[in-house]
A and B are shown apart, each in its own frame.
Chain A
Amino acid sequence: MSKELVVISGKGGTGKTTLTASLASVIKNKVIVDADADAANMYILMKPEVKHKELFKGNPKAVINTDRCIKCDQCRQLCRFDAIYVNSDGEYVVDELKCDSCKLCQIACPVEAVDMKDVYSGQWYESETAYGIMVHAKLYPGAENSGNLVTMVKHRAHLIADEKNIEYILVDGSPGIGCPVISTISGANFVIIVTEPTVSGLHDLKRVKKLCDSFKIKSGVVVNKYDLNSQKTEEIEEFAKREGMPFLGRIPFDKCVVDAIVNLQIPYEACDSVKHAVDEILSKAMELL
């Protein structure tokens, strides 16, 4: 069984992809997963060559057949997602972006005028990169949240790892605490939470730590751009200590990181400051994995 190491952050932009890409450049023998399907960015640094591509089916959406519809208004009244409206021609229409696929309108329609139509909500890919196999996905803009897609790409990565006897699965997770993150951390052996030394960083760390705890998943913390506010960094370290949460390391604020990314280089390979920090973080994480 391969071991799954997941990198998440309470919010986006804390340097999650910087760290994950850097880890991808050091850890040998792994499958890389970009589970941040909402804003997939790993591909930019990993430069994957797509070997296999498949459409991802989302939940089916309601469609009203206007020939059959008797305009009884039941569906509109029952829909709790405000997805059904009457257009300027007086026809009943479903707003696909708002439809939550609950099928209540179909169940309630007295004349069977509602059909559920399959929609594709994104694509997933299996690719070769210079750093190993990568499984990644893209959610279509406006498509529904990506929890199912995350579960799918992770599952795919595990199949590949089992088949090829690959030891690790490295996952770049999505921000927040909602459905995609829950799917990202479920089944993980260890979660690295990246945070920034800011008032919001500490707040978000507490929320995401609670989420990991509620799923009984071990987590450790990394502070990115730690020298922007040393006092906050200390607060975060103290918080980690109090919570019995391993503190894995600090990455400095270095313009080199921005420049590396602009030049499509992995920060680990381009910036000494990152290299030192990531080596330390990795060795601690590996002990806990």
Chain B
Amino acid sequence: MKIAVTSGKGGTGKTTIATMLAKAAENAQYLDCDAEEPNGKFFLKPEIEKTIPYTELVPKINEDRCTFCEKCADACAYKALVVMGKPLNKVMFFDELCHSCGACAYVCPVEGALVEIEQEVGLFNVGKAGNIDFVEGVLNIGEASATRLIATMKKRFMNDKKTVILDSPPGTSCSVVETIDGVDFVVLVSEPTPFGLSDLRLTVELVRDMGLPFGIVINKAEKENSLIDDYAKKENIEILYRLEFSRQIAEGYSKGILPFDKYAGDFKKVLKRIEELI
């Protein structure tokens, strides 16, 4: 069973809910896909056994062989290559613009003039947090997008025999799409504020577009506030759980401590319910 935990925006408690679910599951694997700001480690406190570099292919130009025909620059949709012909005879490459699509290498007519080399853009930390298999992706600072890193992480590490919890990046853009693509269920974490509702609507639109089953967990829920409940009722979405608003949880969170034991039973029930809904 693969469950992605996402939220329209950050700070709604996505990592809180994802790590609680991982702790409550019998045989869990936790994948931190929020590679721009991976935070799950602070709460699961894994022992990292291996750090594996994540590389992407980038072009390297051999100016002795290059004929400066500009085909590579014309093919590059991201304007990462600039060719300066005679008398300079130079090719400039802007790696922060490169998406590693391979078009430049494909079109280059001269053998050996443009070859692709591996460049490190991030890494994977793999380890164990008690019984939980832990993997996190970390994007290097200055790199534009974590989307492909997430795709690679899922392909290389995801263990189908486990209950996989994927902690998603915030927002609704391509890295989130990559994270939730192919999962069995999406948990949308939301908080009962107008901000939370606005973001939730966007995420609901996305998961519906993608045809994935989903439910809502309300974080920082308060009895007198029915903002999310009203919306969920109208949209016919199931509320899986309400985690109470608590200064204690917030203070604990700030120290990297979450009340896993206190809520283990609740989250076991949530997992059971998700299984029924798949």
> What residues of chain A have their CB less than 8 Å away from a CB belonging to chain B?
9-14, 17, 38-41, 44, 59, 78, 80-82, 97-98, 100-104, 107-108, 139, 141-147, 174-179, 182, 196-201, 203-204, 207, 210-211, 214, 225, 228-229, 232, 253, 258, 261-262, 264
Across the interface, name the chain B residue whose C-beta is closest to A257. B193
B101 within 8 A of A: yes
From A44, A139, A142, A198, name the one whose CB has the most chain B CB atoms within 10 angstroms. A142
From B77, B106, B171, B209, name the one whose CB has the most chain A CB atoms within 10 angstroms. B171
Distance between Cα atoms of A38 and B10 in the complex (Å): 11
CB < 8 Å A-B pair total: 189
B145 within 8 A of A: yes
Task: Give the interface size class of chain B.
Answer: 35 or more
A211 touches B103 (CB 8 A): no
B residues in contact with A98, CB < 8 Å: 177-178, 181
Distance between Cα atoms of A92 and B15 in the complex (Å): 38
A38 touches B102 (CB 8 A): no
22 cross-chain CB contacts under 8 A: A13-B12, A14-B10, A14-B11, A39-B171, A78-B102, A80-B102, A102-B78, A102-B103, A103-B103, A108-B106, A145-B174, A177-B36, A178-B36, A178-B146, A196-B254, A207-B36, A207-B37, A229-B255, A253-B247, A258-B193, A258-B220, A262-B194
Question: B173 is contacted by which of A11, A145, A201 (Cβ under 8 Å)?
Answer: A145
Question: A264 is contacted by which of B178, B194, B247, B256 (Cβ under 8 Å)?
Answer: B194
Distance between Cα atoms of A41 and B193 in the complex (Å): 11
Given contacts A38-B9, A41-B199, 6 further A-B contacts (CB under 8 A): A41-B198, A81-B148, A97-B177, A103-B103, A141-B206, A143-B173
Give A16 Cβ to nearest chain B Cβ, in Å.
Answer: 9
Across the interface, name the chain B residue whose C-beta is closest to A103. B77
Question: B10 is contacted by which of A13, A59, A141 (Cβ under 8 Å)?
Answer: A13
Question: B144 is contacted by which of A108, A139, A178, A197 (Cβ under 8 Å)?
Answer: A178
A142 touches B251 (CB 8 A): no
